[in-house]
Amino acid sequence: MSPSSSPRPFVYVQDRLVCSGVDVTALAEQYGTPLYVYSADAIRERATMLQQAFAAAAPRLNTTLCYAVKANSSLAILKMLGEAGCGFDIVSGGELERVKRAAPQSVGKVVFSGVGKQAWEMDAALQAGILLFNVESEAELELLSERAVALNKTARIALRVNPDVFAETHPYISTGLSAHKFGIAIARARAVYQRAASLPGLKPEGVSVHIGSQIRAVEPFGQALARVRSLVEELRSDGIAIHYVDAGGGFGIEYGEGAFDPAASVASYAKELAAVMQGLDAQLLLEPGRFLVAQAGALVTRVLYTKQNGDKHFVITDAAMNDLIRPALYQAHHEIWPVVKSDRAPQKADIVGPVCESGDFFARDRLLPELEAGDLAALLDAGAYGMTLASHYNTRVHPAEVLVEGGAARLVRRRETLDELMAAEIL
């Protein structure tokens, strides 16, 4: 595939894998493995693609991307997205701190989601002057009111409503049904807005919704937003001035070998949402995570050993489930590509890490050109929910991260040391 027709910045040039023009083998040699490699160019391209899709579908609609920091919270990536005009969707005081450090000029475009916000986190967000709190319960409304009064601030709020819409995705990342812990049942929302309007220090100005993640169909987004629109109209008739509609994130990508045209698919997503927003006179906020960063990143690993157990062949890599947990946690598929193509025969293998768990695998019975000890392999589409979900299990340090931009790579997080890993412990 040529670089322009591929949804990924990782392509082969003369049998060697390159990321946006930079040789992946050279990166692995310089920075060691496991190594996360991201293309800044590809992330920026996705942000522009999404912005342009909405500009085309709804030229008069004011749309702001609030990148979901949890997908990849690298400071360098946040800085870049801030410069590209994005706001941010945060879910903790820690993520707020990242935005303050990496993109201080964008703090006014931050939305704060999450079911368990604590007083100190509310205080920090009120002091920073974020755009919107997405409140998920009445108890949270009360605490936020209390904190806003104590700090002499006003909190702009949206209620995150649960629209009871089913979206086909993995059960762990589906959120829009009443069986899930998220949001306030849409049927009760009108009454809760009245309560919010009566509490000091709160200004209800938005409605938000998020139905889940890695959703490939556009219809569920439209259905959820249509329910939100009806609510906005009811609230306005109740005298509550709603200026923001936050449609959440969740737009999915293709992890497998299937054809995927990100520009075309995001255009249909934009069309679906724009149709519902038509004439509503509200600013649309979006919280994309995966769509912006997943395909821009790969986890590069080196094969340590291969072995045969009965009729099973195992390829043991230096990356493990603690570096990329998605296969173990969600039975997620990630393409695995050799970093240098060989003409060795294909072989069925389990690609596994060194961690002491049977769940520590990247692929099972995958047909790949034979991999040998010392070879490098790239786990694709690892730019979202890879590094952010990494753990220290088995006392393994976090991978290093490099960002490729304009044909050059720079280290954006060096490999941790064991001293750092144990620094907070007391003997």
Using the minimum distance from each CB to ligand LLP, give the nearer residue, 177 or 304.
Answer: 177
Torsion of CA 79, 83, 87, 88, to 10 degrees: -10
What's the min distance (Å) between Cβ of 308 and ligand LLP?
A: 32
Q: Which of 19, 66, 86, 356 is catalytic?
A: 356
Cβ pair 225, 270 in contact under 8 A: no
Identify each DSSP E strand in 324-406 by its residue range.
Answer: 336-338, 346-352, 361-369, 376-379, 400-405
Q: Which residues pair with 402 in a beta bridge?
A: 37, 411
Using the minimum distance from each CB to ligand LLP, give the nearer residue, 136 or 375.
Answer: 136
Tell me how far apart the alpha carbons of residues 264 and 53 are, in angstroms, rounded to a whole number: 9
Q: Which residues pair with 317 in a beta bridge?
A: 303
Q: Which residues contact 141 (CB under 8 A, 6 or more apart)?
A: 135, 157, 192, 195, 196, 199, 202
What's the min distance (Å) between Cβ of 340 and ligand LLP?
A: 28
- Read off φ and ψ for residue 404, nearest 5 degrees: -100, 130
Using the minimum distance from each CB to ligand LLP, give the nearer residue, 22 or 209.
Answer: 209
What's the min distance (Å) between Cβ of 370 and ligand LLP?
A: 29
- What's CA 220's distance to the chain center, in Å? 19
What's the min distance (Å) between Cβ of 386 and ligand LLP?
A: 8
Using the minimum distance from each CB to ligand LLP, give the nearer residue, 95 or 375.
Answer: 95
What's the min distance (Å) between Cβ of 291 and ligand LLP?
A: 6
Q: Is 66 a catalytic residue?
A: no
Cβ pair 305, 379 in contact under 8 A: no
What's the min distance (Å) between Cβ of 409 and ligand LLP?
A: 25
Tell me how far apart the alpha carbons of residues 140 and 40 are, in angstroms, rounded to a whole number: 37
Residues that bind ligand LLP (CB under 6 A): 68, 71, 89, 113, 173, 210, 213-214, 248-251, 287-291, 326, 330, 384-385
One-letter amino acid for residue 236 of the chain: R
Identify each DSSP E strand in 187-329 by its residue range.
Answer: 202-208, 244-246, 283-286, 297-309, 312-317
Using the minimum distance from each CB to ligand LLP, give the nearer residue, 214 or 265.
Answer: 214
Using the minimum distance from each CB to ligand LLP, give the nearer residue, 92 or 213.
Answer: 213
Q: Which of 107, 47, 108 has the alpha carbon at shortest distance from 77?
A: 47
Residues annotated as catalytic (active site), given as ranges = 356
